[in-house]
Structure 1
């Protein structure tokens, strides 16, 4: 009788534990609100992704996950703050490729993107899209390259600024295609796209989310830079299938923590990111942002950061820029 009573008591206790939120079983973490740093102002894709994740985590753990927009210096201030915060699971960051690979390739930062962070999960990605003014004579990427070869260093492209992702992405492609163009930098992607639409500059290689509102109308998409075609532009080929196999570059948003954050917390958070990406409301919202869900493991995300850092360092070297 005693053994049976003990067994029933044990089973009841186990049932109670399995009913608790998954996050509450990671060494009793969290005991207080957790902040999620965002390197950009409210309203953009990175902020939107962070808020979706914060709501999911708040629902699962019984503590609030609070988004804190820490802007400045291209997002590196937020990254510095995260890198130098206690590794106790109470400071996280939804970062972008700019803070983890592009800026560290351009200049010395007060953090090491590899050594100072614990990668948790790559949440979502967004390819780049090469767009042209509809009056530009080239209708495909192959035609563009042929046209540029006939007029070396005469075709002009816009970017969001010297050393911007749109600048460096075009530099990567020009090197791969073996052609040269003239660079016209702007102060951000919005004015660059506006001038392409107006016909002042014919080309721009920027985020897919920037091009989508104008694709097929004010802008003609020539190619996307992802491994596969973009769901939002299924008729637009990739750079790879247009004749340059292996060409791939994307921007992304991932969740990181300070280096030294307990692996139990990292693993639980990675699991919850993947769980969030299975929720229809999350997928619908990501779709509205024009991004694709990923949900990688910590090891996969670590490998992505390392490979992208090498990729953007090479692009910076080829562009001969520094900040």
Structure 2
């Protein structure tokens, strides 16, 4: 009998250990509904992952997380709401690379993206893919670089808008490839640029993977490089920029949870734990992967803060050197 009881207790021990983080999170979680502010339009490439993560977090927590889309002036209006919210964990921001560049693009914003926020967790990174018109003479990235270097200022490139992730990634590439010169043509999104790309009026676009991969799979445009350090399983035949000779080139947009600076550490840790558990759910990871989000597992508030600091240090000089201004 004693042996059977010992075996039973031993079998239950892993489950008790697995429950303890959830119990701790529940104890530290705010007792009122939590707002997740998404400073982007409903149904878009940031909103859908935000809702997916929020729904899974809500299943594990005392109160449901309510997603609110607060758009306007880029990310400024939604971000400002969180910056000025009480420091109680009841208002959380779901943001992107825009948070890292808002200070450089909008120097008179009423909040500080670093001092006024505490990063909680990095959800995932979204790579970008360089594509050219199928009739463009360069068929590889080294050929493209050589052609642009030999014809400075002759060719155009498209972006989804001034100061956006696509624009920044392209300017970083031009700089790291040796100071190449191309003309920037800004569109209101990548989709409006497609007719000109397909017709060859504009030869090149570096687009986020979610938009680029379906076009590549249809054979409408030719992929030259992906912005990850290693090749992506989503498009394993597309080489990296590093393979193409642009050493250390990486560029992503990304998804991160942040709260107002000064939020109690136990609450920050509770939100972090809930987010990480949500990202461990296989169905959530698979759905995010389908949306080309490379899930970051085990993110901590410290690692998220370090990532944000590195992104700011990376992109602010690019904006200054290229003279990027938002209309």
TM over 0.5: yes
**Counterparts of 1:70 and 1:301, CA distance in 2:** 23
Uncovered stretches (5+) of structure 2, i.e. residues with no partner: 1-15
- Indicate the residue corresponding to 1:190 in structure 2: 191
- Indicate the residue corresponding to 2:279 in structure 1: 277
**Pairing partner for 1:25 from 27, 37, 44:** 27
Paired residues of 1:22 and 1:60 also in contact (CA < 8 A): no
Paired residues of 2:165 and 2:252 also in contact (CA < 8 A): no
Paired residues of 1:163 and 1:321 also in contact (CA < 8 A): yes
Q: Does 1:306 align with 2:306?
A: no
SS at match of 1:277: helix
- Indicate the residue corresponding to 1:181 in structure 2: 182
- Indicate the residue corresponding to 2:13 in structure 1: none
**Counterparts of 1:249 and 1:158, CA distance in 2:** 17
Sort the Cα spacing of 1:172 and 1:20 in 2 relative to 1 into closer, same or farther, 3 A. closer
Alignment map for 1:152-191 (pairs within 5 Å): 152-178=152-178, 179-191=180-192
**Counterparts of 2:61 and 2:167, CA distance in 1:** 42
Q: Does 1:322 align with 2:321?
A: no
SS at match of 1:215: helix
Sort the Cα spacing of 1:156 and 1:62 in 2 relative to 1 into closer, same or farther, 3 A. same
Alignment RMSD: 1.7
- Indicate the residue corresponding to 2:137 in structure 1: 137
Sort the Cα spacing of 1:22 and 1:154 in 2 relative to 1 into closer, same or farther, 3 A. same
- Listed one character per residue, the Cα deviations across residues 264-285 of structure 1 (whole Å, up to 9, x for unaligned) are 1111221222211111110111
**Counterparts of 2:279 and 2:58, CA distance in 1:** 15
**Counterparts of 1:219 and 1:210, CA distance in 2:** 12
- Indicate the residue corresponding to 2:210 in structure 1: 209
- Which deviates more, 82-91 or 219-228? 219-228
**Counterparts of 1:288 and 1:95, CA distance in 2:** 20
Q: How many residues align?
A: 305
How far has the Cα of 1:230 moved from its partner?
Answer: 2.1
**Counterparts of 1:236 and 1:130, CA distance in 2:** 10
Paired residues of 1:22 and 1:61 also in contact (CA < 8 A): no
Alignment map for 1:177-256 (pairs within 5 Å): 177-178=177-178, 179-216=180-217, 217-256=219-258
- Indicate the residue corresponding to 1:104 in structure 2: 103
- Indicate the residue corresponding to 1:10 in structure 2: none
**Counterparts of 2:236 and 2:69, CA distance in 1:** 34
Alignment map for 1:62-73 (pairs within 5 Å): 62-73=62-73
Q: Does 1:268 align with 2:299?
A: no
**Pairing partner for 2:290 from 288, 299, 302:** 288
Paired residues of 2:171 and 2:318 also in contact (CA < 8 A): yes
Sort the Cα spacing of 1:94 and 1:19 in 2 relative to 1 into closer, same or farther, 3 A. closer
**Counterparts of 1:314 and 1:152, CA distance in 2:** 22
SS at match of 1:139: coil
**Counterparts of 2:163 and 2:95, CA distance in 1:** 19
SS at match of 1:45: coil
Uncovered stretches (5+) of structure 1, i.e. residues with no partner: 1-14
Sort the Cα spacing of 1:168 and 1:20 in 2 relative to 1 into closer, same or farther, 3 A. closer
SS at match of 2:253: strand
Sort the Cα spacing of 1:138 and 1:23 in 2 relative to 1 into closer, same or farther, 3 A. same
